Amino acid sequence: MLMSGPCLTGYTQTINDWYDRDIDAINEPYRPIPSGAISENEVITQIWVLLLAGLGLGALLDVWAGHDFPIIFYLALGGSLLSYIYSAPPLKLKQNGWIGNFALGASYIGLPWWAGQALFGTLTPDIVVLTTLYSIAGLGIAIVNDFKSIEGDRTLGLQSLPVAFGMETAKWICVGAIDITQLSVAAYLLSTGKLYYALALVGLTIPQVILQFQYFLKDPVKYDVKYQASAQPFFVFGLLV
């Protein structure tokens, strides 16, 4: 939890904020970096401290688990590299709404799950496939954050999905990715004879659909925080199912 959360997610968020400082100066000028509340040296120090702490914890977990191959360390290293190329030029994956948001969804869903599975169980191909599929829903969740940044993204030429398709179409792409993914996984569970798990997942998807119509589809900018706070717990419980 410390490796995936405060350290590596913290590193990811900090490096993203650093490379987004020009966009944030337009969209959210009150944030710590564009407002000048934190200096350049402090930002760079924070990036390196969190990155090295996360990688160090990954290596220690491999030693603790007695792994012959340091899989946790390499997952942490791969995720850190993905975080860098997501935010930093010249690749800057977030410039492309599809690739960038899928990379984000995979980082938040696939990578921590693989690390936990490798540490406490066995990481098998079917788990990799299911969590990669679930990352498509993560793509939808990542799009939610793009609506509030549409002005700055358009100004600086970032092709987020709301910029590329317009707000109305992007809203439906977003909820479609979230809902269809979960219902597809429920269908897979049903096909393997896991009826109660499939029903549980469908039952956890329904409140998300209701909240999408209640908040997100009405106004994704005004209600983004309220929607995420109310709907995301159902999504996370579905992933645990």
**Alpha carbons 22 and 196: distance in angstroms, whole number:** 49
The helix (H) or strand (E) run that includes residue 15 is helix 10-19
**How high does pLDDT run on average in the chain?**
93
The helix (H) or strand (E) run that includes residue 166 is none
158-162, 165-169, 229-233: which has the minimum mean pLDDT?
A: 158-162
Query: Using 50, 70 and 90 to split pLDDT, how confident is the model at 130?
Result: confident
pLDDT of residue 105: 85
Query: Using 50, 70 and 90 to split pLDDT, how confident is the model at 132?
Result: confident
Q: What percent of the chain has pLDDT over 70?
A: 100
Mean pLDDT in residue range 10-39: 92
pLDDT of residue 151: 84
The helix (H) or strand (E) run that includes residue 47 is helix 40-65
> In degrees to the nearest 10, what's the CA dihedral of 40, 150, 9, 18?
-10
In terms of average pLDDT, the best of 53-57, 100-104, 136-140 is 53-57
Q: How far is CA 3 from CA 10, 60, 104, 105, 116, in A?
A: 10, 10, 17, 18, 11
Domain range summary for the chain, segments of one domain joined by +: 1-91, 98-240
pLDDT of residue 96: 87
pLDDT of residue 149: 84
What's the predicted TM-score (pTM) here?
0.83
Residue 159 forms beta bridges with which residues? 96
AA identity, residue 27: N
pLDDT tens column, 169-225? 999 999 999 999 999 999 999 999 999 999 999 999 999 999 999 999 999 999 999
Helix, strand, coil shares of the chain, percent, nearest 5, are: 80, 0, 20
pLDDT tens column, 26-71? 888 999 999 999 999 999 999 999 999 999 999 999 999 999 999 9
Non-local CB neighbours of 133 within 8 Å, separated by 6+ positions:
181, 184, 185
Token digits of residue 142: 């990542």
Token digits of residue 117: 């599975």
pLDDT over threshold 90, residue 108: no
pLDDT over threshold 90, residue 156: no
Q: How far is CA 241 from CA 11, 55, 89, 203, in A?
A: 29, 29, 38, 11
Please, what's the largest Cα pairwise distance for the chain? 56
